[in-house]
């Protein structure tokens, strides 16, 4: 019976392919690295062709390693990071490298829009903040700095849409990706024409993709894609959702009393709403693939990627020793933090290696000669949790804020029970973790399962394919302790941000 589903997730550092059945059982996941490019300061790009090859190789390896016949795959769907941009010509080939959403080249353009009032005029039209890594900002930058690229561009695509186009030829997008890109009025899921005109982007209008339902078969695996991936020609390709929405689905977030939190490359924190959140303009807002709901999100580049950087650049020797003893560096770090939690620690870590919303630098404060490596790693865990709390406090402010009773945690930090408990203690809410190693890919699989009829609705698919496997309740004493430490974290961030702004 054809009940196998493949979800592809083009993430920050890896493109992954995972195999599921209709109950959500994850058979295996294959990861392939993405090739990142940094041609100039504040320019963060991706080799799109290499990303496609990584996806194709991951899918082929997945089929081979699990012994899965291509005839048993009912559907495939793709998710990927939101915003950034991929520009392709009439033949579907990229006219330049893709741009990642952490790119900052358009900051001066957004600052100009802010000064002349266009940010204030247009944020209400798209119901979210305008920022430099957003597709609309990047389009303005290309129009000003690389006009020949605009002329060569036939279609503007988002990350997942580029990969889906390579699988089946379809060049559309869905409301979740169009929302994060800053393209649409999220109440109607249609292009915000007045915004495009006001920002001087009318030249792009014919290049923007049609917006079609997320939970829908967009096409079928082509002959060329079948040869590259090992999938059967004609296999259904489902349009799918952006990774923010996919991770929320895979975490089982279907009610307004739940908060989706992804601790990965970005701090991503989201709640469900019946109408657009507007009392405090969210960082991102998009239609959710469950009828009648919108997803409002606060986020920043202040999450677990700081820990990954520390492991890769500072703990490389520790990592080698861990591998030689049959363990991972993450196992070692969890043990060190567990030991460090048993003693007082006043160290603050500011998790701003990839930028700070307030301009503060990254680094440790309050270190003493008696401190150990475990104390430093504990401070990183805490600093990331404090950064999430900063975003979540904004998300939960204002009269139209949700009132969550629990948090569903995804991302790399969800694999650490120590970190899960620490998040609960810092945030003061129960933390729940669902099964599986790759929630983005699971979210793609949920979309695919519904589109090809393996489930009748997204709600039914979530109920069948998502299971909570761990829960961490906040400890009152530690929550009070972290309240005090968080206040110091927040004030330190503000003070250093003001100090470094004058450099």
Q: Over the stretch 261-309, which tens digit does the pLDDT of each residue have?
A: 999 888 999 999 999 999 999 999 999 999 899 999 999 989 998 999 9
β-bridge mates for residue 86, sequence order? 157
Confidence grade of residue 323 (pLDDT, cut at 50, 70, 90): confident
Token reading at 98: 């893709």
219 membership: H or E segment, kind and range: strand 217-220
pLDDT of residue 80: 96
Cα 23 from chain centroid (whole Å) = 24
Q: What percent of the chain has pLDDT over 90?
A: 86
Specify the fold of 4-240: Nucleotidyltransferase; domain 5 (3.30.420)
Within the chain, all domains assigned CATH 3.30.420.40 are found at 4-240, 305-387+478-501
Taking the alpha carbons at both ends of the chain, their separation in whole angstroms is: 64
Token reading at 358: 């307030």
Q: Over the stretch 453-465, which tens digit does the pLDDT of each residue have?
A: 999 999 999 999 9
Confidence grade of residue 1 (pLDDT, cut at 50, 70, 90): low
Mean pLDDT of the chain: 95
Q: Over the stretch 211-258, which tens digit does the pLDDT of each residue have?
A: 999 999 999 999 999 999 999 999 999 999 999 999 999 999 999 999
Q: Helix 316-324 vs helix 329-340: angle between axes, to the nearest 10 degrees?
A: 110
**CA dist 261 → 232, 304, 456 (Å):** 36, 12, 27
pLDDT of residue 449: 98
324 or 93, higher pLDDT: 93
Contact 297, 273 (CB under 8 A): no
pLDDT of residue 220: 98
> Is the confidence at residue 503, as pLDDT, over 70?
no
- Residues 34, 410: Cα–Cα separation, whole Å: 21
Nearest residue to 422 (alpha-carbon basis) of 435, 436, 437, 407? 407
pLDDT of residue 368: 94
pLDDT of residue 502: 61
Q: May I ask the CATH architecture of the domain 305-387+478-501?
A: 2-Layer Sandwich (3.30)
- Residues 77, 89: Cα–Cα separation, whole Å: 23
Strand order through the sheet with 236-238: 26-33, 14-20, 4-10, 73-80, 236-238, 217-220
Taking residues 438-446, report their average pLDDT. Answer: 95
pLDDT of residue 264: 86
pLDDT of residue 358: 85
Taking residues 86-106, report their average pLDDT. Answer: 94
**CA dist 336 → 333, 373, 374 (Å):** 5, 7, 4
pLDDT of residue 324: 85
pLDDT of residue 501: 79
Token reading at 434: 């669902």
Whole-model pTM: value is 0.94
Q: Over the stretch 71-80, which tens digit does the pLDDT of each residue have?
A: 999 999 999 9
- Residues 369, 367: Cα–Cα separation, whole Å: 7
- Residues 74, 216: Cα–Cα separation, whole Å: 14
pLDDT of residue 121: 98
- Residues 100, 77: Cα–Cα separation, whole Å: 21
**CA dist 349 → 117, 165, 374, 464 (Å):** 36, 42, 13, 40
């Amino acid at each position: 019976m054809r009940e196998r589903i493949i979800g592809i997730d083009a993430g920050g550092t890896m493109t992954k392919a995972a195999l599921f059945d209709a109950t959500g059982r994850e058979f295996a996941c294959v990861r392939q690295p993405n090739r990142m490019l940094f041609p100039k300061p504040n320019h963060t790009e991706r080799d799109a062709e290499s990303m496609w090859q990584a996806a194709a190789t991951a899918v082929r390896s997945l089929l081979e390693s699990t012994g899965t016949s291509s005839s048993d795959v009912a559907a495939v769907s793709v998710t990927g990071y939101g915003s950034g941009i991929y520009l392709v010509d009439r033949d579907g080939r990229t006219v330049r490298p893709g741009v990642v959403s952490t790119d900052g080249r358009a900051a001066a353009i957004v600052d100009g829009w802010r000064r002349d009032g266009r940010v204030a005029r247009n944020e209400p039209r798209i119901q979210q903040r305008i920022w430099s890594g957003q597709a609309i900002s990047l389009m303005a930058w290309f129009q000003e700095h690389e006009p020949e690229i605009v002329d060569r561009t036939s279609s503007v695509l988002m990350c997942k849409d580029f990969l889906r186009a390579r699988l089946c030829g379809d060049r559309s997008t869905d409301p979740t990706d169009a929302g994060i890109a800053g393209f649409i009025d999220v109440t109607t899921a249609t292009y915000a024409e007045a915004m495009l005109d006001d920002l001087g982007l009318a030249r792009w209008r014919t290049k923007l993709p049609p917006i079609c339902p997320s939970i829908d078969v967009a096409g079928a695996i082509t002959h060329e894609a079948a040869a590259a991936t090992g999938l059967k020609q004609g296999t259904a390709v489902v349009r799918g959702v952006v990774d923010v929405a996919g991770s929320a689905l895979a975490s089982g977030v279907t009610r307004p009393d739940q908060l989706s939190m992804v601790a990965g490359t970005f701090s991503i924190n989201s709640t469900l709403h019946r109408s657009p959140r507007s009392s405090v303009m969210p960082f991102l807002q998009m239609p959710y693939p469950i009828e009648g709901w919108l997803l409002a999100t606060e986020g920043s580049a202040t999450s677990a990627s700081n820990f990954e950087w520390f492991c890769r650049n500072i703990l490389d020797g520790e990592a080698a020793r861990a591998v030689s003893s049959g363990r991972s560096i993450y196992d070692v770090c969890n043990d060190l933090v567990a030991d460090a939690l048993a003693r007082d620690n006043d160290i603050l870590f500011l998790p701003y290696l990839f930028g700070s919303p307030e301009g503060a630098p990254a680094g440790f404060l309050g270190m003493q000669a008696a401190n150990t490596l475990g104390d430093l790693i504990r401070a990183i865990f805490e600093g990331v949790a404090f950064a999430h709390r900063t975003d979540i406090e904004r998300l939960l402010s204002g009269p139209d804020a949700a009132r969550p009773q629990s948090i569903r945690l995804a991302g790399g930090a969800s694999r650490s029970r120590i970190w899960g408990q620490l998040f609960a203690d810092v945030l003061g809410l129960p933390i729940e973790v669902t099964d599986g190693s790759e929630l983005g890919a699971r979210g793609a699989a949920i979309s695919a399962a519904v589109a090809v009829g393996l489930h009748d609705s997204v709600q039914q698919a979530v109920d069948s394919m998502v299971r909570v496997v761990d829960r961490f309740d906040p400890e009152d004493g530690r929550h009070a302790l972290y309240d005090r430490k968080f206040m110091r974290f927040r004030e330190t961030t503000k003070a250093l941000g003001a100090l470094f702004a004058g450099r």
